[in-house]
């Protein structure tokens, strides 16, 4: 298997072939048709590779992960330590069985990137399931037997009086059912996506060792969601493995074309905006006092109304990340953006969006809208406030930037942190 040069960059970074250091590996590189096909699917995920006369230019925004092209492997690292990111993911998605200290292993996880940490966590989670024995369930079976078992099909016996067998229906205890089939399919899918050859092999071996006799099933988003919905008290210990499979599957793309014997073109990009939103949502629900109500992803289609709509276009909607209410009255609206606000002040587009949120809800003036961003360990929040107050209009929108202390929330020292203004 041919090795590829590796570009290691941080999120929210641009690297050009004219640069020094990491940019040197981009010089003289060209994209193949298969590369372009894979990258076309990733534009919406904020990764861009631009072909210049001197090589490739790579631009990444709020995603972390790994992209494997024909002549280059791109590892996008978070600006926070990987073990902190894993703790953040575990908290955001309620992956209670992930042991963050297990990320320090013989696998070169820090070198390979986030995808291998998630794959390793999946492997450990499945091993825990297997140690306790795969969950069995009863499956109704109808077959012709020489001796009676279960319920006899008397109609079949009456119409086949000379038959040497009896048609019986009975319940058979088996581990070959959809839940275990999805776990097996998830292991096989993850084994293809891993960057570490040893981890790819270990995941594939686990699928064969623990699920070798399980029927194979296709893996898609709806199949995974159906397996999660079917979880009950007996199968609740499968939740972590299913959540990890969902994370890996959701962020992964696999190229259709590669040379024989080559590592397949692939990518795994995790949208840190979504992780940050889920992280805050869980924290708010656990920390807000009883007299505060919180709504996440508050979808409203009653803000804009077409007066003419010859094209029959869909009604526009707004969807702030969080709405805070006290006694059913909105007191604040918030949007979470995973950006380093020390380097990236609010854009005009963000201010337009936040102002619209403020005007859309019935709140006392000035209407408070929060723009929440992450704070890394050791960083202190920088106060930033903006006031939207058009002349001749009594309505005012008060936009306030607030830093969320991620590490302090995780270690419990900011257990009750809230972004609401105490005024």
Average pLDDT (401-423) is 85
pLDDT at 167: 85
Q: Which pLDDT value is given to residue 144?
A: 87
Which residue from 211, 282, 276, 201 is spatially nearest to 241, judged by alpha carbons? 211
156 and 99 Cβ atoms separated by less than 8 Å: no
Is residue 265 within 8 A of residue 257, CB to CB? The reply is yes
- DSSP assignment of 160-202, as one string? -TT-SSEEEEEEEEES-SHHHHHHHHHHHHHHHH-SSHHHHHH
pLDDT at 108: 44
Asked if 372 contacts 342 with a C-beta cutoff of 8 angstroms, the reply is no
pLDDT tens sequence across 68-87? 888 888 888 887 878 788 88
| Whole-number Å distance between alpha carbons of 218 and 249 | 12
Task: Look at 259 and 8; give whichever has higher pLDDT.
Answer: 8
What pLDDT, in 10s, does the model give residues 329-379?
999 999 999 988 888 889 999 999 999 999 999 888 788 999 999 988 778
Domain range annotation of the chain = 1-79+255-270, 81-136+175-251, 137-174, 288-411
| pLDDT of 103 over the 50 cut | no
- Band of pLDDT at residue 186, cut at 50, 70 and 90: very high
Judged by average pLDDT, the poorest of 139-143, 255-259, 307-311 is 255-259
- Least Cα distance to 225 among 247, 208, 205, 210 occurs for 247
| Nearest C-alpha neighbor of 376 from the set 78, 107, 155, 3 | 78
Residue 197 predicted with pLDDT over 50: yes
How far apart are the C-alpha atoms of 104 and 101, rounded to whole Å? 6
Q: What percent of the chain has pLDDT over 90?
A: 38
**Residue 202 pLDDT class (50, 70, 90 cuts):** very high
Angle between helices 197-211 and 178-193 (to 10 degrees): 160
Q: Give dist(CA 184, CA 25) in Å, integer.
A: 37
Question: What are the pLDDT digits (tens) for 210-236?
Answer: 999 899 999 999 999 999 999 999 999
pLDDT score for 344: 84
**CA–CA gap between residue 119 and residue 115 (Å, rounded):** 6
* SS3 state at 303: coil
Mean pLDDT lowest for which of 159-163, 182-186, 250-254?
A: 159-163
The pLDDT confidence band at residue 1, using thresholds 50, 70 and 90, is very low
Average pLDDT, the chain: 85
Q: Is the pLDDT of residue 13 over 90?
A: no
- Residue 337 confidence (pLDDT): 92
Please give the pLDDT value at position 276. 93
Q: Is the pLDDT of residue 102 over 70?
A: no
Tell me if residue 321 falls in helix, strand or coil: coil
Report pLDDT for 99.
52
User: Rounded mean pLDDT of 118-134?
Assistant: 91
The pLDDT, as a whole number, for residue 422 is: 54
**Residue 96: pLDDT band by 50, 70, 90 thresholds?**
low
Q: What is the rounded CA–CA span in Å between residue 222 and residue 220?
A: 6
Of the candidates 221, 144, 142, 210, the one whose C-alpha atom is nearest the C-alpha of residue 180 is 210
Q: What are the strands of the beta sheet with 329-336, ordered from one edge?
A: 292-296, 322-326, 329-336, 367-375, 397-405, 384-388
């Amino acid at each position: 298997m041919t090795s590829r040069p590796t570009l290691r960059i941080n999120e929210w970074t641009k690297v050009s072939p004219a640069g020094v250091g990491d940019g040197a590996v981009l010089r003289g590189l060209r994209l193949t048709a298969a590369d372009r096909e894979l990258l076309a699917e990733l534009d919406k995920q904020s990764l861009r590779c631009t072909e210049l006369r001197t090589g490739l230019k790579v631009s990444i925004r709020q995603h972390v992960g790994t992209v494997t092209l024909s002549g280059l492997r791109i590892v996008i690292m978070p600006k926070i330590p990987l073990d902190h990111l894993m703790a953040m993911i575990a908290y955001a998605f309620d992956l209670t069985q992930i042991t963050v200290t297990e990320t320090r292993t013989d696998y070169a996880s820090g070198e390979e990137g986030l995808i291998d940490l998630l794959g390793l966590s999946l492997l450990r989670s499945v091993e825990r399931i297997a140690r306790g024995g795969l969950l069995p369930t009863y499956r109704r079976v109808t077959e012709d037997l020489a001796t009676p078992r279960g319920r006899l099909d008397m109609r079949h016996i009456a119409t086949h009086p000379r038959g040497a067998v009896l048609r019986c229906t009975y319940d058979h205890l088996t581990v070959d059912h959809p839940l275990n089939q999805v776990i097996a399919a998830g292991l096989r899918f993850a084994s293809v996506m891993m960057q570490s050859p040893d981890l790819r092999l270990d995941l594939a071996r686990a699928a064969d060792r623990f699920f070798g006799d399980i029927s194979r099933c296709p893996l898609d988003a709806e199949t995974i969601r159906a397996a999660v919905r079917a979880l009950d008290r007996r199968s609740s210990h499968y939740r972590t493995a299913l959540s990890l499979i969902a994370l890996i599957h959701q962020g992964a793309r696999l190229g259709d074309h590669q040379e024989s014997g080559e590592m397949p073109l692939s990518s795994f990009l995790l949208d840190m905006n979504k992780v940050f939103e889920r992280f805050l949502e869980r924290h708010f629900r656990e920390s807000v006092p009883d007299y505060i109500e919180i709504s996440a992803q508050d979808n409203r289609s009653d803000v804009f109304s077409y007066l003419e709509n010859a094209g029959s276009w869909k009604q526009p909607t707004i969807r702030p990340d969080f709405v805070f209410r006290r006694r059913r009255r909105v007191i604040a609206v918030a949007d979470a953006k995973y950006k380093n606000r020390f380097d990236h002040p609010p854009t005009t587009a963000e201010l337009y969006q936040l102002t619209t949120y403020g005007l859309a809800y019935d709140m006392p003036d000035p209407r408070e809208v929060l723009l929440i961003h992450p704070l890394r360990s050791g960083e202190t929040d920088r106060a930033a406030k903006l006031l939207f107050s058009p002349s001749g209009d009594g309505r005012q929108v008060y936009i306030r930037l607030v830093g969320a202390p991620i590490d302090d929330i995780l270690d419990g020292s900011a257990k009750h942190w809230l972004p609401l203004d105490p005024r």
